[in-house]
Amino acid sequence: MKILVITPSLYKSSPSLLTPNHIPPHFSIHKNFPSLSRSFSLFKQTKLYNPMAACIDTSRTGTAQTNPLPRNPNRSQTDDNHYKFVNLCRPTYSDQVSCLPICQSPNQFTQTRTVVDYIEKKEYEVDLWLEMQEEARLDVDQEPILSNYYFTSILSHNSLESALANHLSVKLSHSSLPSGTLVDIFKGVLAEDQEIIRAVEDDLRAVQERDPACISYVHCFLHFKGFLACQAHRVAHRLWSQGRKVLALLIQNRVSEVFAVDIHPGAKIGRGLLLDHATGVVVGETAVIGNNVSILHNVTLGGTGKASGDRHPKIGDGVLIGAGTCILGNIRVGDGAKIGAGSVVLKDVPPRTTAVGNPARLIGGKENPTKLDKIPSLTMDHTSHITEWSDYVI
């Protein structure tokens, strides 16, 4: 989704644009999505709404209407600004959020359109850390008995990296490995590599968007062991890359014991990764996992047992791997492919195809496999096309 950005200097020449003095008094949010209301309040706090507008209502002559009539003659001009507010809806919920036009004729624009820039929505998303703090406060309001836990884990920290370092150190510590030692390690790595924090944010969004069991970002951050195991691995991989292999292997071992997720610190993983349930996930040393991949529990990305060197699978972007799957050897699963649950994959899987079975076979056949038209890791659709593979019906 792209938005139109208009420079602040255009506010004076375009009175119909929203300004800080014309903040709408209302914002209609569907009752099933109260979190959007919280996101909007945070969005206003960041003051990012000032430079945004969808379009400028103009007359047929191309001049802006300085005094457009309200929809209801008895209503004040301030109330009428409610109908001019820019559409801030999430694309996925566009049919469930009240979205009112900013102008009466969306096809009319002033000449100022030639000086606007298009910017990806992602650059203007609400600060994730602010959203998590707001969610934590709401949770404390509902369950005051957890106030100390939320304060220690979220509310007492001034940044996502500080809270993550603290939370991981508490989870992975034991009597001979105090949390104080681990928190210094985690903070040091996170401070020197901001790419890890950006990957952490992408992972949080991935879980929230793809897992219907995730009720909030803070819920994922505190309680989803797949997410926590993934972030601990990012730190361990950084240490491994720096040659601090003993420390990296120590973190791997603790993650395996605490979260039941065994990812070798040498493995490379992308951003936007979802480890759903995560129990029993095993990833070998030379494995590579791309961006926006979804992996369910009891998945093994392993070697064949007889090869050395580069011996583990390479998983492309947007891949969905079902529960209980084994992918063995230095093979490649192409971008946008789907692996059915319980499959054993021993050969390359072409992009945008579905492989299922033991040994795995391509849906539609090897010569002309059925192509997927959507990214499976984002849709989380485990059954489409697979039902065509067998006529067995319960």
One domain for residues 313 and 356: yes
Of 261, 277, 294, which residue sits at a domain end? 261
pLDDT at 125: 55
One domain for residues 255 and 271: no
- 119-152 pLDDT, tens digit each: 344 444 569 999 999 999 999 999 999 999 999 9
Angle value at C-alpha 238, between 307 and 303, nearest 5 degrees: 15
One domain for residues 240 and 274: no
Residue 77 lies in a domain: no
Residue 9 lies in a domain: no
Count the domains in the chain.
2
Residue 33 lies in a domain: no
CA–CA distance, 37 with 314 (Å, rounded to integer): 41
One domain for residues 388 and 319: yes
pLDDT at 212: 94
Residue 143 or 31, more confident: 143
Confidence of residue 11 (pLDDT cuts 50, 70, 90): very low
Residue 98 lies in a domain: no
One domain for residues 217 and 166: yes
Residue 63 lies in a domain: no
One domain for residues 296 and 365: yes
Residue 50 lies in a domain: no
One domain for residues 275 and 238: no
Residues forming a β-bridge with 58: 64
**Average pLDDT of the segment spanning 209-232:** 96
pLDDT of 115 higher than 90: no
- 196-220 pLDDT, tens digit each: 999 999 999 999 999 999 999 999 9
Q: How many CB atoms lie within 10 A of CB 343?
A: 25
- 333-361 pLDDT, tens digit each: 999 999 999 999 999 999 999 999 999 99
pLDDT at 387: 58
One domain for residues 254 and 273: no
CA–CA distance, 310 with 393 (Å, rounded to integer): 41
Kindly report the CATH number assigned to the domain that includes residue 368: 2.160.10.10
pLDDT at 382: 85
Residue 52 lies in a domain: no
Share of residues in the chain with pLDDT > 90 (%) = 61
One domain for residues 254 and 276: no
Residue 173 lies in a domain: yes
Q: What is the mean pLDDT of the chain?
A: 77
One domain for residues 209 and 275: no
One domain for residues 160 and 251: yes
33-47, 77-91, 175-189, 275-289: range with lowest mean pLDDT: 77-91
Name the packing angle between helices 194-210 and 160-172 (round to 10°).
Answer: 80
Residues forming a β-bridge with 367: none
79-88, 120-129, 379-388: range with lowest mean pLDDT: 79-88
Which structural domain, as residue segments, surrounds residue 378? 267-393
Torsion of CA 250, 251, 253, 256, to 10 degrees: 180
One domain for residues 134 and 243: yes
pLDDT at 296: 97
Q: Which residues contact 117 (CB under 8 A, 6 or more apart)?
A: 5
75-79, 171-175, 184-188, 250-254: range with lowest mean pLDDT: 75-79
Taking alpha carbons only, the member of 314, 329, 318 closest to residue 374 is 318
Kindly report the CATH number assigned to the domain that includes residue 197: 1.10.3130.10
What letter represents residue 263's amino acid? I
